[in-house]
A = this chain, B = another copy of it.
Amino acid sequence: MAGATPVQSLVEQVYERILAEICEGTLPPNTRLIQDELAAAYEVSRQPVQQALMLLRDRGFVADAPKRGVIVTPLDGHALRDVYEIREVLDGLACRLAAERAAGPAREAGAALIRQGREAIASGSYARQISADLAFHQFIYGLSGNASIEEAARPHWHYMRRIMGAVLRVEHHIPDDIWDEHAAILEAIVAGEPVRAETLGRAHIARAAKTFAVYVQALQDRADADQRRRSLARRAAG
């Protein structure tokens, strides 16, 4: 049974690859995804592709186009606000629980993550900046002792990988004071102060939301302008 694929099923591999392309922008929003093409590109049959697309749809990365398969979900500012409202309470909860339950373990591994984060910014690599931020927050989810937090936050993180990627491709860097905020949060957790940890955690997310909202609005305006330009071109051509 369990047709034992070596390490990861084809479905998972295909899922990861498509998601990566979406997050990196190789597959831009509104791109139509066709099973045959993906299957050919990844050299698998349509079956694992179809299943991977179902999972992606389930998690909101692609959406049913009315009656023509699926398209990559566009990033819009409204969804961004929604996601950050949730992350604010979810990350706040994680910080509070971490301070209550895992002040000790936080001290041990936390400092290294902060260092890695600053190094990532210094390195200039987008991928490292994004994954360092993810690693820090996921570390706190782990400290919280509540496995469901990481689970509930996971779709949002993928969404943010997309947004951070899109922003970085324009702005070329993430505001570097976020690692000062991370350090302050960690310090409150290590000190075992739940209320302060939660407050700092929520403030951190709220600030990030405000920062990103500006960028995303700009991206969206540009996308709208492109849209208009294209539709004008079409009208002229047709």
Decide yes or no whether A1 CB sits under 8 A from chain B: yes
Q: If A90-B86, A152-B152 touch, does A2 touch B146 (CB 8 Å cutoff)?
A: no
Q: If A51-B51, A54-B11 touch, does A97 touch B85 (CB 8 Å cutoff)?
A: yes
Q: Return the contact of A146 from the options B51, B86, B90 (Cβ within 8 A).
A: B86
Mask for A78-94, Cβ within 8 A of B = 1, else 0?
01011101100110110
Report yes or no: A1 in contact with B152, Cβ–Cβ below 8 A. no
Q: How many copies does the complex hold?
A: 2
Interface residues of A in 135-166 (CB under 8 A from B): 146-149, 151-152, 155-156
Q: Which residues of B contact A148 (CB under 8 A)?
A: 79, 82-83, 85-86, 156
Decide yes or no whether A43 CB sits under 8 A from chain B: no
Report yes or no: A86 in contact with B82, Cβ–Cβ below 8 A. no
Decide yes or no whether A55 CB sits under 8 A from chain B: yes
In the bound complex, how far is the Cα of B3 from the Cα of A69, in angstroms? 9
Mask for A59-97, Cβ within 8 A of B = 1, else 0?
010001001110000000001011101100110110001
Report yes or no: B82 in contact with A89, Cβ–Cβ below 8 A. no
Tell me the smallest distance from the CB of A89 to a CB of chain B, in Å. Answer: 4
Decide yes or no whether A4 CB sits under 8 A from chain B: yes
Question: How many residues on the A side are at the interface (Cβ–Cβ under 8 A)?
Answer: 33
Decide yes or no whether A177 CB sits under 8 A from chain B: no
Tell me the smallest distance from the CB of A6 to a CB of chain B, in Å. Answer: 13
In the bound complex, how far is the Cα of B20 from the Cα of A174, in angstroms? 46
Decide yes or no whether A58 CB sits under 8 A from chain B: yes
Closest to A52 in B: B54
A-B CB contact pairs (8 Å), 23 listed: A1-B67, A2-B64, A2-B68, A11-B54, A51-B51, A54-B54, A58-B58, A79-B147, A81-B146, A82-B147, A82-B148, A83-B148, A85-B93, A85-B97, A85-B149, A86-B93, A86-B148, A89-B89, A89-B92, A89-B93, A90-B152, A148-B156, A151-B155
> What is the interface of chain A, defined by CB distance below 8 A to chain B?
1-2, 4, 11, 50-51, 54-55, 58, 60, 64, 67-69, 79, 81-83, 85-86, 89-90, 92-93, 97, 146-149, 151-152, 155-156
* For the complex of A and B, 6 pairs with smallest distance between CB atoms: A82-B148, A89-B89, A82-B146, A89-B93, A2-B67, A152-B152
